[in-house]
Structure 1
Amino acid sequence: MHSNDGLGSGMGSDADVDALAQLVADAEGIADAARAAQVREFRLLAAAGQLAEAQSAGAPEKVKAREMALRGIAAELAGVFVATDRTLQRRIDEARDLVENYPVTMAAWEAGRIVRGHVRVIQEVGCLVPAESRAEFERVAIERCEGERPNRVLEALRMLAERMHPRTFTERHEEAAAARCIRVQAGADGMSDLIATLPTAIADGIVDRLTRQAREIISARAQADAAGATDARADANGGASDADTTIRDGSSFVDDGRTIDQVRADVFSDLLLAGTPALDPTASGDGDGTLGAIRARVQVAVSALTLIGQDEGPADLAGRSPIDAATARELAGNATSWERLLTHPVTGTVLECDTYRPTAGMVRLLRARDRHCRFPGCRQPAIRCELDHTIAASDGGATHVCNLANLCKRHHDVKHHTRWQVRQLSGGRLIWTSPTGRIYREDAPPPLVAFTTTDPPDTGPPPF
């Protein structure tokens, strides 16, 4: 937890806030003008594609004629947009797809209900939806997008599109999993990319475990550096022997200035080549747990119907993409503990959370309720966030779910060291106020998987 005491001028003066308010007002005008220009550009490019098709109508080799007409028009426009004709041809195809196949989205963008980022997400995800269902997908997707950041709606829209697909997610996942592979893509300067195509839950778990191991190494390195500084001061006072100095110089942390990405890559290599991370400074077990004891953590929300095999819809891997029902069932079956969520019947907001084993219930409930950092636009998973008192404990704020929310380290600091302010209402709703007075509402995100269902059909009395 943090305190706002002693922040000095870091909060900014009233004059600074006024200047920022003017910048924000100017930004709004620029954003409106940019949106209008982007819409005009897309309609122009779509018209160019339609012109190319019209020019090739009736040609004996229609496909080739259309391609040549499109190339010629793209080359003409490339001179205006200062781009290559290949780039313009790709943009023309993208514009035609949007204008002709997503008219509701185009209209919402033109009206200012959504922004270019929302349009990109809808178009990217909408290709999964059959043409006959696309209008309904657009309607629901636009409602989800309004008032929300594009990066926050991606997983919700992907889940929506997956459920609208005529084939179950499980069927398609089984086919895709059969193509899992490892490949090497040669790069420059003696480097290569090792690419693994794996089920999402496994890939995310690998990255999570590598990240936690890398952080353990960096933490141990910091402790060794602090100990070395203390010993150096003792040397200056004649308190250390030559043997002590030799031992410190032989430490595995001497001249170790690797970044977390570099440490992650090194641990990854060691685990695959040697079976255990040779760069583990706690390999002897004399630290706070060895790297080999670190296991990956993933946060999955899955409906009860999926767990008992009555629904093959996708489950939600928090902060990532959907996973198939079979993987979700396997994760739930192997989990040492899991939580049952009670959700609001209308909004889907998590209201209660219980577990079948003793646990820190409050922390688990908040992770289940928040799912990610609760600062506007952030999607850092809750398992990598910090619990923050909305009203600071030093100001009398209670340590209770109604006064706690998950914030990532970056936005935890923003809350306590800038003029951003936040209130928490019932149901976990946060109301953020920016330094210039703009209001951002942050609802507790409902789980993307369905926790309610209609009554099962009446099949008559039971057989016994």
Structure 2
Amino acid sequence: MLVDTVAPPVRPVAGSPVTFDARSAYVIAQDGLDAFVDAAAQARRIEAMQQSVRVGIIHAAVEYAVQHADAFTSSNLSGERRHEMARRAVTSELATALRIAERTMLRLIDEAWSLCTQLPATLAALRAGEIDYTHARVIIDATTGLGDDERSRLDGELSIRAADVSPATLRRVARRLRDEIRAETLAERHAAALAERRLEFEPAADGMAWLHLHLDASDAMLICDRVDRVAADAADADDPRTPAQLRADVARDLLRSAVPPVGDAFHAAAATARPTVHVTVPVLTLLGSDDEPGDLDGYGPIAPEVARRLAAQAPSFTRLLTHPVDGVVLDLDRTVYRPPADLTRWLRVRDETCRFPGCNRRAVRCDLDHTDDFADGGRTAFDNLAHLCPGHHHLKHESAWSVRHRADGVLEWRSLTGRTYVTTPATSMRALPRGATRAARFPDAGSDRTDRDPNPVGDAPPTAALGYPPTPPF
């Protein structure tokens, strides 16, 4: 580490001549700290330079994949579609290799394109270590949607200003300069921004989650004001909740019940909300004789009392009971193309999200895909079906990405370059073949042996398993 290279103050060695330092203790300490600060600044400069290298490599990788789209996509596609699928495929390749979310990778690719093709001054400052990547992102955001002349002006001015200010300050400067040079009015820009309003759900730890609303600022202010007023009316001297807890409860009940709860009605209103959810509940937990956690579709493990409460209060939810010993459920194998409702629900809870590496789109918004195509003899069964979002569904069929179904719902993906990635189901729900007994399915049930595929890369020899297939798997 760089800090290890900073030499501490030299201490005199016994028997050696002592050199008197006429500086004050403050100046000596100041100089010592200055060395550490210089080292930190140098580390930041090197990091910025390294980030500029990453920008160039990402941009070059995408350009290369698009130029070689014929090798990575199906020949049945149009030229434009092949370029699109090649870009999607290399995005997935980079995301899995770098172990980051695909949405994050898409942003990095877009940012790399902006820096390499539209913002030469900003890229040069990043390469020189004069600005951080955070500064570069501010400039990218500030220049999005501008014409060539406007973008060139902001690129030059902001890349210089960024060398002396923090990203937050640069953002304020960029906003002011952008407003000065843009032809559109604030009302027009606001109308465009308003079209991007949305609600987002973000899971958090310990059975909690965040709910984000991106909406008109005036609406947000009015909502906060109403929550404050209702919370003040509902406050009671004997109420043990803090103001923050009370506001959170009020906002929750207003959204769930559409009725502002006051006084005793506060708790009654909360009790009237009946969610529609998919919950996996161990039988003994539901009966109250065990405290094994339940599983909430789209979130994950939940406390047993929460699982029991949802089971009692959600009349239209799908409740999946698991065996108290081995957790297996009955097989839902079918021989028709379209999966029946019971199999669909079971798979939705098993997968929870798209099964492509790194994708977190909820299963309810995904397609059920036959791993081995139905047209080629693939069965409509639990061990040949998995959820894929529309984008990754197309990627599987129209690019060199391929997948095979292993035991217990495990999927093994092979990328453009032959790298292998494994995804596992969100919920462990093994299925017994129809008519089979547990002893037939698990002959060594009494031992520590598991029912996992003993060969994680298939039956091919190791050298073949690690190489790229000779022909694309479309």
Identify which of structures 1 and 2 has the higher relative contact order when contacts are C-alpha pairs closer than 8 Å and 6+ apart: 1
The two structures have a TM-score, normalised by structure 2, of 0.39
The two structures have a TM-score, normalised by structure 1, of 0.39
- Computing the radius of gyration from Cα coordinates, the structure with the larger value is 2
